[in-house]
Amino acid sequence: MAPDLEGAMADSKLLVPELSEAEKMGAETERFEELLLQASKELQQAQTSGPESTQIQPQPGFCIKTNSPEGKVFINICHSPSIPPPADVTEDELLQMLEEDQAGFRIPMSLGEPHAELDAKGQGCTAYDVAVNSDFYRRMQNSDFLRELVVTIAREGLEDKYSLQLNPEWRMLKNRPFLGSISQQNIRSQQRPRIQELGNLYTPDSLRPEECREKPHLNLWLEAPDLLLAEIDLPKLDGALGLSLEIGENRLVMGGPQQLYHLDAHIPLRINSKESKAAFHRKRKQLMVAMPLLSVAS
């Protein structure tokens, strides 16, 4: 912990994860992003049954047919207003994000349990129900691009959650919005507010950055109910060498090499500092931080 922060932040129990040298961080960034994506998928797919969850009855949308080594598989794409919508971006903006390999766009979806069904020929098969936000579903109905994107993300999510190997080739069933019956699903009922950006966060007077140090742009959002992600723009840096990062239960402090940058942000959520991870993305010149959140009861 930096000496000048020790007294002011003793109660926050700050963790000071020392970032590796730029050369090492560059090699680890890809692995970090993979772990980050996996963690967010697991959190989004978690089916909860405690007091913070509620049952929903997804409405039918359309059904696709594919297969796995075990046999035929059907995926019912459903919708519910209880599922949070993704960020409101245009298709052009989304295409640009995907072309630039940005990980900022997510489609929240609820992945149901497998259920055994019979197909039109009376043969056994497996069906899954995947629910997205109702407003987003209506938008998707008028866009082949969004429909294919949702099916791809749903297929990959089911593969990850249930250790499946699904054929990427699929076809939509005509005049049949679902196969079998659509079961109720449990989702989080106490969603924390989505934080798009915290540009005017509280900065303690005693720790305000000097005029010579620049306050970097911070983009902060909830990737899942229990995972907060941050991107800190550092256009003057080529790597992580010299960066310092301190994460407390509700505070994030970052210092740059040669006093180029200084950020001291109060975050209105309880952070699990011990499980937080960070990596520097060379191409984007961003510090990426993944911060699991503590439950209200902990």
Q: How many domains does the chain have?
A: 2
Residue 261 shares a structural domain with residue 166: no
Residue 181 shares a structural domain with residue 258: no
What local confidence, expressed as pLDDT, does residue 212 receive? 65
DSSP letter string over 77-143? EEEETTSPP-----HHHHHHHHHTT--------EEPPPEEEE-TTS-EEEEEEEEEEHHHHHHHHT-
What is the average pLDDT score of the chain? 75
Residue 160 shares a structural domain with residue 228: no
Residue 239 shares a structural domain with residue 168: no
Q: Tokens at residue 189, please?
A: 């009922």
Residue 276 shares a structural domain with residue 181: no
Q: Is residue 298 domain-resident?
A: no
The residue range of the domain holding 227 is 217-292
Torsion region of 163: left, alpha or beta (phi above 0 gives left; psi -120 to 50 gives alpha) = left
With 0-12 CB in 10 A as exposed, 13-18 as middle and 19+ as buried, what is 7?
Answer: exposed
Q: Is residue 204 domain-resident?
A: no
Q: Is residue 24 domain-resident?
A: no
Q: What percent of the chain has pLDDT over 70?
A: 70
Residue 90 shares a structural domain with residue 164: yes
Residue 118 shares a structural domain with residue 239: no
What local confidence, expressed as pLDDT, does residue 150 receive? 92
Maximum separation of any 2 CA atoms in the chain, in Å: 74
Q: Domain holding 223: CATH number?
A: 2.60.40.790
> pLDDT tens digits, residue range 218-241?
888 887 778 888 889 998 888 878
What is the arithmetic mean of pLDDT over 160-187? 89
pLDDT of 265 higher than 90: no
Rounded to two decimals, the pTM is 0.50
pLDDT of 125 higher than 80: yes
Radius of gyration (C-alpha) of the chain in whole angstroms: 22
Residue 58 shares a structural domain with residue 175: yes
pLDDT band at 192 (very low <50, low <70, confident <90, very high): very low
Beta bridge partners of 280: 287
Q: Which of 163, 186, 209 is the last residue of a domain?
A: 186
Query: Where is mean pLDDT largest: 185-189, 204-208, 267-271?
Result: 267-271
Residue 181 shares a structural domain with residue 58: yes
Q: Is residue 19 domain-resident?
A: no
Q: Is residue 277 domain-resident?
A: yes
Q: Which of 164, 186, 208 is the last residue of a domain?
A: 186
CA distances from 193 to 183, 224, 269 (A): 27, 11, 10
Residue 176 shares a structural domain with residue 231: no
> pLDDT tens digits, residue range 8-67?
232 333 333 334 434 444 444 555 555 555 554 554 554 344 445 688 899 999 999 999
Q: What percent of the chain has pLDDT over 90?
A: 24
Q: Which of 186, 207, 236 is the last residue of a domain?
A: 186
Q: Tokens at residue 27, please?
A: 């090699």
CA distances from 136 to 88, 89, 225 (A): 9, 11, 19
Residue 248 shares a structural domain with residue 162: no
Q: Is residue 273 domain-resident?
A: yes
Residue 143 shares a structural domain with residue 229: no
Q: Is residue 229 domain-resident?
A: yes
Q: Is residue 90 domain-resident?
A: yes
Cβ atoms of 212 and 218 within 8 Å: the answer is no
Q: Which of 65-69, 90-94, 123-127, 246-250 has the lowest mean pLDDT?
A: 90-94
What is the arithmetic mean of pLDDT over 187-199? 42
Spatial separation of the C-alpha atoms in residues 89 and 152, rounded to whole Å? 19
With 0-12 CB in 10 A as exposed, 13-18 as middle and 19+ as buried, what is 222?
Answer: buried
> pLDDT tens digits, residue range 75-119?
999 999 988 888 777 888 777 767 665 445 678 888 999 999 998
